[in-house]
Each structure stands twice: as C-alpha cells, then as structure tokens.
A and B are shown apart, each in its own frame.
Chain A
C-alpha cells in the first residue's frame, strides 16, 4: 500500500504543478515509511520539501498554501503527533469555507499513518478518526487496499475541501496487489463490498478490513453463513444509503473498529442504523472495538480486535 500511495503522489504531481508535498523527513529520506521516496529527486525541492519539526507549522502553512492556489499534501509522520496541529485543522482548515462564505477555501490533504499493529505503543498506534469525522468541514478517508489507496488519494487531492487521509500503517506492507500505472480515481463517499452475503454484515475500514474478511471466511466454514463485508472507505461524508441498504439486506450487524469504543465511529454507525432501519434488525447491533484505554505496547495483540473476536461477535448475532 505504501508504494501505491507513493505512486498516487507521483501520478498527480506529474499532472498538476500545484500539488506540493511537505512534512518532516519527506524529502531526501522519503518519509519514515518511504511514502514520499523519490519525490524530491523527481520534482525538486520546491515541490516536495522537509519542514522544521512543527506539526502546527506544517498544517498552518498548508492552509495558507491551499488558500493561495496550491494543493498541498501535508504529511504528519504519525497520526499520534497531529495534536499540536489540531487547532489549525479544527479551527482553521475545517471552518475556512464556512466563515468566509466561500471566499477562501482549503483544498488540502493531510496524509498520516494511523493505527496499531507495529508495536508502536501509546504514541505510534492511535486511531483518531472520530475526532476528525466529528468536525464539520473535514472529509475523512481511510483506504484498505493498494488500489483504493492510490485512487482515493488522488480523489482527495482533487477534492475542493480539506481531507484527512488516514493510512493504516499495519497494511503498508501487508500484501501486494496490482495497481494501474496511470492516474485514476476512486470516488469519495462510496463503500466497497469486500465479500458478498446476506446473512449478516460487518462494517469496517482500514486495517480491520482483512480482519473482518477472515472472520467472514471462518463463519462460512463454521456455520455455512454468508457474511457481507463492507469497507466504508470514506468515513465523512459517509455513503449512508449504502450502509442502510446493507443493514436492511442483512438484518444482523457487526461493526469493527480498532479505535476505542466510547464515542467511536462505530457508535455513530450504530445510532444511524438504529434510527433508520431498526425494523429490519434481527439481533442487537454488535461492536468489536479497541478498549477504552490508551494503546498498550507489549500487549497490543490483546488490545486490537482480531478475527477470533470478530468471529465470536458474528456468531452471536447469527445465534440471537
């Protein structure tokens, strides 16, 4: 996936001179995960450049660049380090169009690796999507495959509004997939059916997609039930129609997120389904999530939802 991100950046930078990449170590080093490898050598230091170690500066400068005709792609090295820039993201980027009546806009992408699975402990593992999805004015995109990573990234860069693009770092090098060399887009606000099925549905995104897919496979084996797996891909604005349709089709629902449970993204999904499709439900909605604690290090595999925990939840809703 990290190569697909790199390829996406290169493709759009070749097409569009106004796309700039900035962040810590994104230049000659190519980023700590090598997502920006080769950009400085191909496009020069004025289009892909290292910044001082200041997230607040990276995003604030990105907002300025975006308001003045550029399409900045800001990298925050780990999503855990984004918080010094929270003010610029939440108070500035998200509200600029609204507060200027559309005079000023921020077509900016904030790319940042998020999530667990690399033994990163408290500060290299967090999943903060709910903070951003909660903030009006931001779009929130989470790819789970190399193909989607490239297509969604290009769509995000072309989008007229600020996009927080969360890259599941556990999947950066998890598996290979052929990705077209040319430029292409994957529409924002569309979901993807990973596995078809009508007996139950798992809603998931990011690094939980392969976990949910494995759970669906196990349930097929254990119960001969067809469990649909829906990759949400864009958390805000969500394709609500697709989610509600899947809920109505299947009637038994499991939501998986690695972020903590309380006020997590799954809480909103659960409420939405309860409000709009409760008459179709054949079992209580079940969430499988990280715990409501900081992210541990030594015990991270016990914190993260795995296929077994998801399988148990699916069997529970099937047995209800």
Chain B
C-alpha cells in the first residue's frame, strides 16, 4: 500500500502539516461530524423502534465524508455519492429535516417516497445526485458530469464516492478508464471501510490496497487516513486543485472502518471480530478531532459538549417534524415516469385512485392520505 497520509494521530496529536483553515471552517467541520453521528444515531433508534424501515450505519465514516465535503466549492462542484456519506449533505447546509423526509418517505421527500431510506437526492445548495442501490453506477456518471464541465470550460469538478466493494463493479473500471482517457476533472474517493457487507477487503482484491488501482488507468492514486478529517481535506483539496488546473482525475483511498453493520438488516457480530471494533473505537474520528481542536485552543470542552447537545436536539426535532408529515398521494406512483403522464398511466392512475378511495382506507378522492 502507498504511504498513508496522516495529520492528526489517533490521540489527537498533530503529526503532520495542517492545512490552513479558518477557525470557523474547522468548527463547521467538527459540527458536521458530530451532526453526522447524531443523525446516524437517531436513524438507528428510529429503525429499531419501527418508525422507519431501514438505515445504513455511518458511524466511523464521519471524517472521510466531512473532510471531502469541506474541500468542495458549492458554487461549481457536484457530488455523485454512494449511500454511506451523511456528512456531505450535512456539511453543505442540507437541512436535517430534508434528510429525515427521505428516511420517512413522506410527502416532502425529494424521492417522493419512491426509494428506500438513505437514498437522498438534493440539488440545492449542493448538487448531490440521486443515490442508487445498485453499486458503482454513479462512477461513470460522475465522469460524464465532469466531462461536460470540461467541455464548457467551467472550473467545477465532480467528486464521486463509493465503498471498497464497488471497486469490483463494471462502473468503477469503465469510469476510471474514461476519466483517464478524457482527462476528466473528477475525484474518485474510495471509502475503504474494511467490509463489503460480510466480505473483508482481502476477499475482494488481491492488490495491495485500492489506490494502486489507478495506475493501470494512468490516474494517480493516494492513500489517506480516513479517520483524520484534516488529512482527508488535504488530499481531496489537492486532487481538486489538479482537476481544476486541467491535470485530470485522482483516485483517493480513505482507510476507515464501518463501526456497525452494512445496514439495519445486517448483523456484523456474525463475521466481524469484536476486537476489530475495539481497535477502531480507539481511532474514532470525532474524538480525535475534538482532542486536536481543544489542544490547539480552538474549542473548549464546554463548547464541544454544547455542539453535541445541539446536534442531538436538532436530529430529534427533525425526526419529529418528518414523522408528522403525510405520505405522498397515490398519483405520485404514476408521475415522473416520463416528463408527461402518458395515456396508459393516466388510466392506471385513475383506476388506482378510484379503487383505493372507494375502499375507505384513509385515501380521499384525490388519492391523498390526509392525517
């Protein structure tokens, strides 16, 4: 494996050159990491109590998501994400309630209740592409988005995120190859969290890490400590700088650990050695950044505690707000299939609304579900 960049060690001590960032940015990064953990915690509780159907744990991943997010320029850049990156929208001003609307699949969900939870789609203030369940599909799309920017001579870049498992998909290989050939301003961020559901890294690839996979496509690969938010920020910033300067794509491997199951439907105790969880708990990205900020005099214990309390309250309130909204109306099954609803779908929509409203199951004659 190539050398792994680290700026803050697991105890919070500075061991490298920190990027020059204003205090307010550092604190915004810290706040986003804490809010990511709080959002994740809340969703896990909502799932366990039957309020929502599904979630994917983000615990342990916060530094990778937020470090990358902080390097983006909202005005020009796009994100083609996978589903385990809550920190990116949260850092960039997507309101927690908008994310909760998706977790509940309610009337205000941008995915209109059509997708499972954690399949977000945002276009303002951040271009955060609609997430797919099939893996790796966003990777060549990111290259296309970046090629369009290049063609129009814009300054923007596209960041695409994916897990270690997705490096096995067709999308990863075709995306990397196209990006290399066309010099697309794209940043491939591989979140190596150790596990593709129950499959450990060594059963996924015989290569020495993932960053090296760039070489065959003519793309530089770098490895970074994915639990060190400043190190992630630095490598993503450098990759973005190269991309903006017309120097093409970069593959980044962020080494981190999924501190939970693949999803709420998965039981990691069947295949992960508990010692591994203990080991990685000692490398917690949030504790590490907190210690660093306190040691640097940029944050006090009291302020850190207050940020935590605010985040917990914010997520609780967001969940309550999303829970109180009705589900989408029946006609939303039939809209957005095409730009215009064609006659056969109009007929099916009329049938569904007539049929279900006549059954008196809380559906009114407009196909709505009034509370």
Contact = CB atoms under 8 A, between A and B. Distances in A.
Instruction: Determine if chain A interacts with chain B.
Output: yes
Contact of B199 (A24, A56, A261, A294): A24
A50 interface: yes
A297 B203 contact: no
Interface string B342-359: 001100100010011001
A292 B345 contact: yes
A237 interface: no
Interface size band for B: 35 or more
Interface in B309-359: 327-328, 330, 332-334, 337, 344-345, 348, 352, 355-356, 359
Interface stretch (B15-23, B31-39, B163-171, B240-248): B163-171
Contact of A291 (B119, B328, B334): B334
A107 to B, nearest CB: 26
B199 A52 contact: yes
A121 interface: yes
B345 to A, nearest CB: 6
Contacts of B356: 302
B138 interface: no
A131 B54 CA distance: 29
A124 interface: yes
Interface of A: 24-25, 27-30, 32, 50, 52-54, 56-57, 80-81, 83-84, 119-124, 261-262, 291-294, 296-299, 302-303, 308-309, 312
A230 B223 CA distance: 58
Given A80-B133, A302-B352, A32 B197 contact: yes
B114 A297 contact: yes
Interface string B249-293: 000000000000000011000110000000000000000000000
B116 A120 contact: yes
A299 B135 CA distance: 24
A29 B272 CA distance: 10
Given A81-B134, A83-B134, A122-B133, A303 B205 contact: no
B348 A53 contact: no
B333 A54 contact: no
Contact of B196 (A24, A291, A299): A24
B263 to A, nearest CB: 9
Given A121-B114, A124-B133, A29 B204 contact: no
B197 A25 contact: yes
B134 A296 contact: no
B105 interface: yes
A123 B116 contact: yes
18 contacts: A24-B199, A25-B197, A29-B198, A50-B203, A80-B134, A84-B134, A84-B169, A119-B53, A122-B116, A122-B133, A124-B133, A297-B105, A297-B116, A298-B114, A299-B327, A302-B330, A309-B355, A312-B355
Contacts of B193: none
B116 A121 contact: yes
A123 B132 contact: yes
Contacts of A302: 330, 333, 352, 356
Contacts of B327: 298-299
B115 A122 contact: yes
A53 B116 contact: no
A50 B170 contact: no
A262 B114 contact: no
Given A122-B115, A124-B116, A303-B333, A298 B199 contact: no
